[in-house]
A = this chain, B = another copy of it.
Amino acid sequence: MEFKVNSKELEKVLTKIIPAVPTRTPMAILENFLFEIKGGTLTIIATDLEISMKSSISIVADRDISLIVPAKLTYDILKSLGDTSVNFEITDNHKINLKTDNGEYSISYLDSEEYPEIPTFPTNEDEINEIKMNGLELKHAFDTTSFAMSKEEMRPAMMGTLLEFEEDGLRFVATDGHRLSNLLKKTIKPETEITEKYVVPEKAISVLQKILDEKDIKVYMSNTHISFKLNDIELITRLIGQKYPEYRSVIPLENEFELKLKTKELLTAIKRMMLFSATSSTRRVKFAITENNLEISAEDVDMGNFGKENIMCEYNGTPLDIGFNSQYVNDVLSHLVSEEEIIFKLHSANKAVVVVPNKSSDKQDLMMLVMPVRLNN
């Protein structure tokens, strides 16, 4: 059988699907695309067994067929062809012959039966919820929270981001136990009440961050899977089955001292302190807070180097010395950098610190949390 496509059009689709193809996997079969040709539509599927991605393109084909093609080679060839018409001829001896005006390329394919079971969305379940949202709103929510996800496999739930529906909107929470990002998106609201909570794994989030745009998307949730339907792509991922930790219990409510600062001023100073804290195991930066002055300092004891800066601030508490992991403060501030001013809410040197924007917004509530590290003195 044969079909024809424009190289640029097919390349565009493959560019979006290829992030789902694992690069280092013991299961070599996953390094392939599944091509399904049915009723004049070519559907391209890729999976790493956790997520699956799917997209389609219209073609003129005289019969239906499914086959497995090497993902990277097929993608690289299409990319290298520029903008041209490509004829695909699928032979019975497991060859795809691609023809252009000047070239012929032959790629081996496998029968589609060898492809593993693809994570698919359960369609016969009772409890399926759905919601429509803007792609950029979702992207922004992941950008603002997912950095705080844990990379340690000890507690699998914390390796994902929690999605929690509330009366006011959709809440995104991520934490690794050292810092936490907690964002309520008031612009994302389901039409009917959703009480379930969903923990979305990292891989799906990092792929979505790359492909989401200003277009609306539809999200479907079952007890085991979540599906993101973009304009021309569907991404399905398994949900993390473990229960998300009770993050609310670690957020201090009675931190009575407020430290107000210009975000960029503190961030650039922290980056300089990181030059001195990089060698210590806790990457410690010390905050010495007084009424109108924050002194931050870091020391490289082994090399005998240190840095110290003074930053203007407003502080309403008793003078306080507190230590942080400079990397974590940097992460938190980097994700608050669109806020001109931020407030650190503190209580003492060994209690979790809350960081919030100084200005509240009617579109979202954002709250970050950083655990302090012990000071030696």
Q: Interface of A with B (CB < 8 Å)?
A: 70, 73, 76-77, 80-82, 94-95, 102-108, 268-269, 271-272, 275-276, 303-311
Q: Are B311 and A105 in contact (CB under 8 A)?
A: no
A310 touches which of B102, B305, B310 (Cβ 8 Å) = B102
Cβ contact of A303, chosen from B70, B76, B77, B304, cutoff 8 A? B70
Contact between A102 and B309 (Cβ–Cβ < 8 Å)? yes
Please tell me if the beta carbons of B275 and A95 are within 8 angstroms of each other in the complex: no
CB nearest to A107 among chain B residues: B305
Q: Which residue of B lies closest to A309 (CB)?
A: B103
**Bound Cα distance A305, B108 (Å):** 6
Say how far A330's CB is from chain B's closest CB, in angstroms.
Answer: 12
When the two chains form the complex, which single residue of B77, B95, B305, B310 contacts A272, counting CB atoms closer than 8 Å? Answer: B77
A310 to B102, CA, bound (A): 5
Given contacts A70-B303, A106-B304, 19 further A-B contacts (CB under 8 A): A73-B303, A77-B272, A80-B275, A82-B268, A94-B304, A95-B304, A102-B309, A102-B311, A103-B307, A103-B308, A103-B309, A104-B307, A104-B309, A105-B306, A105-B307, A106-B305, A107-B305, A108-B304, A108-B305
A-B interface, 3 closest residue pairs, ranked by CB to CB distance from nearest: A103-B309, A108-B304, A105-B307
The residue in chain B whose Cβ has the minimal distance to the Cβ of A305 is B107
Chain B residues with CB under 8 A of A70: 303, 305
**Distance A95 CA – B306 CA, assembled complex (angstroms):** 10
Question: Is there contact, CB below 8 Å, between B305 and A73?
Answer: yes
Contact across chains for B305 and A103 when beta carbons are under 8 A apart: no
How many monomers of this chain does the complex have?
2
The listed residue with most B CB atoms (<10 A of its CB), out of A81, A82, A106, A268, is A106
Are A308 and B275 interface neighbours, CB within 8 A?
Answer: no
Q: Contacting A268 at CB < 8 Å: which of B80, B106, B306? A: B80
A272, B311: Cβ atoms closer than 8 Å? no
Taking a contact as CB atoms under 8 Å apart, the answer to whether A272 and B102 are in contact is: no
Please, which residues of chain B bring their CB within 8 A of the CB of A310? 102-103
* Contacting residues, chain B, for A82 (C-beta < 8 A): 268
Q: Which of B94, B106, B275 contacts A73 (CB 8 A)?
A: B275
A sample of 10 inter-chain contacts (CB < 8 A) reads A77-B272, A80-B268, A102-B269, A102-B309, A103-B269, A103-B310, A105-B276, A105-B305, A108-B304, A108-B305
Contact A272 B81 (CB under 8 A): yes
Q: In angstroms, how far is the closest chain B Cβ from the Cβ of A126?
A: 46
Q: Which chain B residues border A275 with CB–CB below 8 Å?
A: 73, 76-77, 80
CA distance A103 to B304 in the complex (A): 17
Q: How far is the CA of A103 from the CA of B107 in the complex (A)?
A: 62
Chain B residues contacting A311 (CB-CB under 8 Å) are 102
- Residues on B with beta carbons closer than 8 Å to the beta carbon of A105: 272, 276, 305-308
- CA–CA, A310 to B100, complex, Å? 10
List chain B residues, Cβ under 8 A from A271: 80
Given A77-B275, A272-B80, A307–B102 Cβ distance below 8 Å? no
Complex: A311 Cα to B103 Cα, angstroms: 9
Q: Name which residue of chain B comes closest to A94, CB basis.
A: B304
B-side contacts of A269, CB under 8 Å? 102-103
A102 to B272, CA, bound (A): 12
Asked if A308 and B104 sit within 8 Å, CB to CB, the answer is: yes
CA distance in complex: A70, B303 (Å): 10
Q: Which residues of chain B are within 8 angstroms of A303 by Cβ–Cβ distance?
A: 70, 73, 108
Complex: A346 Cα to B81 Cα, angstroms: 29
* CA A303 to CA B72, docked complex, whole Å: 13
